[in-house]
Chain A
Amino acid sequence: MVETLLFSRLQFALNISFHILFPTITIALCWFLLFFKIQHNRTGDEVWLRAYRFWVKIFALSFALGVVSGITMSFQFGTNWPGFMEVVGNIAGPLLGYEVLTAFFLEATFLGVMLFGMDRVSPRVHTFATAMVALGTTASAFWILSLNSWMQTPTGFEMRDGVAYPLDWFAIIFNPSLPYRLSHMLIASGLTASFLVAGISAYRMIKGDHKKAPKLALKTAVIAAALLTPLQVFIGDLHGLNTLEHQPQKIAAIEGAWETKKGLPLVLFALPDEGSRENHFEIAIPNIASLILTHDFKGEVKGLNEFEGEHPPVAPLFFGFRIMVGMGMLMLASAWLGAFYIARKKEMPNWLLKVFVGMSFSGWIATLAGWYVTEIGRQPYLVSGVLKTEDAVTTVPIENIATSFTLYLITYVALLAAYIHTLFRMARKSVYIEEINHTPYQELPLTKSHELEEGEALSNKAIGGAQ
C-alpha cells in the first residue's frame, strides 16, 4: 500500500512535470507568434513572417508534446487517484469539463488552420486563427489553474457524507489563490518562452546566421523578458502574501522557520532537518523574512512547530523555492543586461549571446521548481483540509503501477532528448536557408474550383497589400 502511494505519486509527478514543460512554452509562444503575425500584417515587412515561420514549427512540435502528455493526465485521476473523483468529483469534473469545451477544441481545431492554412485562407482569417489558438491555450491555463487553486484554497462548497457538493460556482472558480497563481503562471510562461526564443535566436547568431529574423526575434524576446521579470517579482510577492494568509505552513517550510517568531530572519542557506526539527549550517539575515512577508521588520510569522504532523516536507520546499528565486535573479540580470545592450549599443557582444544560449531552458527550471514548492507544499493533503493524498490513492496492484511508471519514464526521457536535439538542429539548419520571400496564394490553382474565385480575389488583395 505504501509502495502504491509512492509509485502513484512518482508517476503523477513524472507525468505532470513532463506535461507542464510544453504548455509553459506554448501558452506564451503563441502570443509571440500572434505579435509577429500582426507586425507583418501591419508593416508588410517580410522579416516578421520569417520569424513567424521559424517559430511556428517549434510551436507545433511543443504543442504536440503538450497535447499527448495532456491526454495522459485526463486518465491519471481514474487510474491512480480514484478517491479524488469520489470526494471532489462534483467540483473538479465541471472545471475540467469547461477546460475541454472552451479551450481544447478551440486550440486544436484552429491549430490546423494556423499551421497549414496560410495558403488557403486570407491573411486576416489566418491571424484570427492564430489569435484563437492563443486564446485557447490561455483559457486552458485559466481553468486548470482554477482547479489547482481550488485544491490549494477550497471555497464555495459543503461536505455531505464525505463528498463535496458545490454551493457557489463563482466562489469555486475565483477562489482566493486563483488570481495570484494564474498571473504567476502566465508570466512564468511568458518568461519561459522569452528565454527560449532568445536562447535559440542567439544560438543561430553564434552559428553565423546574419539574417535579420533571428536578431529581431532576440530583440523582441529580450525586451519582453526585461519587462516581465520585475513584474514577476511583484506578483510573486503578492502570491507569497496570499499563501501566508491561507497556507501558513507552506510559507514556514519555504522559510525554514521552525519556531513562531517576531522579526523572522531570511535564511539564505541551511540544511533543514526534520528529525531534530532545526536547521544546520544556517546563513541568515535578521528580520528580512518578516519584512518581506508582513512588510514590517517586527512582524510575526508562524513557525512549523505550530503545524507539527500537518505540514509539508520541509527540505523540498526550502530548496525548491531557492532554486526558483535564484533562477529568477539570473533571468532578471541577463534580461536587463541584454536590454541595456540593445538600447545603447544596438548589438550584443558574443559572450552575452552565449549567456542567452545557456539560459534557453531557464524558464523550465524555475517553473518546475516553483510548482514543486506549491504542490509539495499542499501535502499531506490532496485538497487542503478536505482530502488527504493517501486516502485518494488507487488499489491497483503495485506491479501494474511499476510497469506503467517505467514505460512513461523511458518514453519521456527519450522524447525530451529528441525535442531538445531537434530544436537545436532546426536552428542550425535555418542558418543555411536562404531568405525567401513568402508568396501567398501562388498555389491556388491546386485548391478546388469552388474556392478559386474567392481565392483569386484574396490573392490580388494580398499582392496589393505587399506592395
Chain B
Amino acid sequence: MNEMTWIIAAFAGLMALAVLVYAILDGYDLGVGMLLPMKGNPKDRNTMIASIGPFWDANETWLVLAVGLLLIAFPPAYNLVLKELYLPATFMLIGLILRGVAFDFRAKVALDYKDIWDGIFKFGSGLTAFMQGYMLGQYVVGFENTVLTQAFSILSGLCVMAAYGYIGANWLVMKTEGELQKNAAKWARRCGLLCFVGVVAVCVVNPLVNPFVFDNWFQLPNSLLWFHIPVISLLLFIVNDRLLKRVPMRDDHSCWIPFVGTAGIFFLCFQGLLYSFYPYAIPGKMTLVEAASAPESLQFILIGAVIVVPIILAYTAFSYRVFWGKATDLKYY
C-alpha cells in the first residue's frame, strides 16, 4: 500500500464504483431485455420495455465511464485487456448496438416488424450479458487459453446472464403489477437459484486457478475480513426467495426489497472480486501501480471527477424520482 499513491487508489476506487453501478443499473435493463416473453400478451412486453425506457441510456453511460476511467488511469491495462478480449468485446458491442437501436425502432415501426425488433432486443441483451460474463471469466483466469479456462469463462458468462436476469426480474417485481408482476416473481426465483449456483461455482474455481487468490482468502487473519461476504449474500438470497414466493403481497408491501437485496448481493460479490485481486490491475500480470498513467493527468481529471460525479448522482436521482412508481405505457413527447 505504501508505494501506491492516494491518487491511484482514488482512481481504482472510482473505477470500482463505476463498474459496480454499471452492473446494477445496466444489469437490470439487460435482464429485462433477456426476460422479454416472445409469446403471450404483447402488452406485457410494452410494459416491460416501458419500465426501463427512461433509464437505459444513462445506465449504459456507466460502462463508458468505467472503460473511460480504465483508459485514462491505467492505459497499459486497458490496452492489454482489449487486445486479449478483442473478439468477445466486439461481440458485446454488437449486442449493445442491436439492443440499443431495437429499443427505439420497435416503437416507430409497423406492428409486423415489431416482433422482429423485440427479438433483436432480447438477443442483443442476452449476447451483451453473456459476453460481459465471459470477459470477466477470461480476466479472472489471466487470459489463459485452455479447455478448462474456456469452460470457466463460459460458466462465468452464464452466471452473469443469470445474475442480470435475477436483478431484471426483481426490477419488474418492483415496477409492475398484476399478472406480469406474478410472472416476474417466478422468473426471479428461477434466475436467483441459477445465480446462486453460479456464484458458488465461481467461488470454488477462482481460488483454485489463482494461487494468490487462495492466499488472500484462506490465510488468517485476512480471511476474517471477508467472512461477512458469503454469510450476508446467502442471507439475502434466502430473504429474497421467501419474499418472492409471496408476491403479490397485500398493498404491494415490500415489493422493492428483492431489487435492493439483489443490488446488495452484487455489491458483496463485487467486493469479493476486488478483495481477491488487489493490488492487481490484471490478475497475476500487472499491478495498479505499474499500470497507472502520469500523475499530472490523473490530478487534472480527478478535480473534474470530484466536482461532477456528485452532480451526476444528483440528477440521476432526480430522473428516478420523476419516473417513480409503477411503469405506465411510454409515450414520446
Contacts and interface: CB of A to CB of B under 8 A. Distances in A.
Q: Do A and B come from one complex?
A: yes
A169 to B, nearest CB: 6
Given A64-B103, A74-B71, A404-B86, A113 B97 contact: no
Which secondary structure dominates where chain B touches chain A?
Answer: helix
Nearest to B65: A100
A403 B87 CA distance: 8
A443 B328 contact: yes
Interface residues of A, number: 76
A119 interface: yes
Contacts of B293: 89-90, 93
B72 A96 contact: yes
Interface stretch (A104-112, A189-197, A229-237, A271-279): A104-112
A112 B79 contact: no
Contacts of A91: 297
A86 B96 contact: no
B6 interface: no
Given A166-B300, A403-B87, A404-B90, A94 B72 contact: yes
Contacts of B69: 97
A360 B223 CA distance: 65
Which secondary structure dominates where chain A touches chain B?
Answer: helix
A403 B68 contact: no
B83 A52 contact: no
B101 interface: yes
A54 B162 CA distance: 39
Interface of A: 49, 52-53, 56-57, 60-61, 63-65, 67-72, 74-75, 77-79, 82, 85-86, 89-91, 93-94, 96-98, 100-102, 104-106, 108-113, 115-121, 163, 165-166, 169, 394-396, 400-401, 403-404, 407-408, 411, 415, 418, 422, 425-426, 438, 443, 446-448, 451
Contact of A71 (B93, B318, B323, B325): B93
Contacts of B86: 79, 394, 396, 400-401, 404
Contacts of B72: 89, 93-94, 96-97
B16 interface: no
Interface string B50-86: 0001110110110111011101110110110111001
A49 B325 CA distance: 27
Given A53-B333, A422-B109, A403 B71 contact: no
B119 to A, nearest CB: 14
Contacts of B81: 78
B54 A116 contact: yes
A403 to B, nearest CB: 7
Given A61-B104, A71-B93, A396-B83, 9 more contacts: A56-B332, A61-B101, A90-B296, A90-B297, A98-B304, A109-B315, A120-B323, A166-B300, A408-B94
A75 B82 contact: yes
Given A91-B297, A396-B86, A112 B57 contact: yes
Contacts of A426: 108
B90 to A, nearest CB: 4
Contacts of A69: 97
B58 A109 contact: yes
B96 A82 contact: no
Nearest to B71: A93
Contact of B58 (A97, A108, A163): A108
Contacts of B75: 85-86, 89, 93
Nearest to B305: A101
Interface in B248-304: 293-294, 296-297, 300-301, 304
B105 interface: yes
A100 B297 contact: no
B322 interface: yes
Contact of A78 (B53, B61, B83, B97): B83
26 contacts: A57-B107, A68-B96, A68-B97, A71-B63, A75-B93, A77-B71, A78-B82, A85-B71, A90-B296, A93-B75, A93-B293, A94-B297, A96-B68, A97-B301, A98-B301, A101-B308, A104-B65, A105-B312, A108-B61, A112-B55, A112-B319, A396-B86, A404-B87, A408-B94, A411-B98, A448-B324
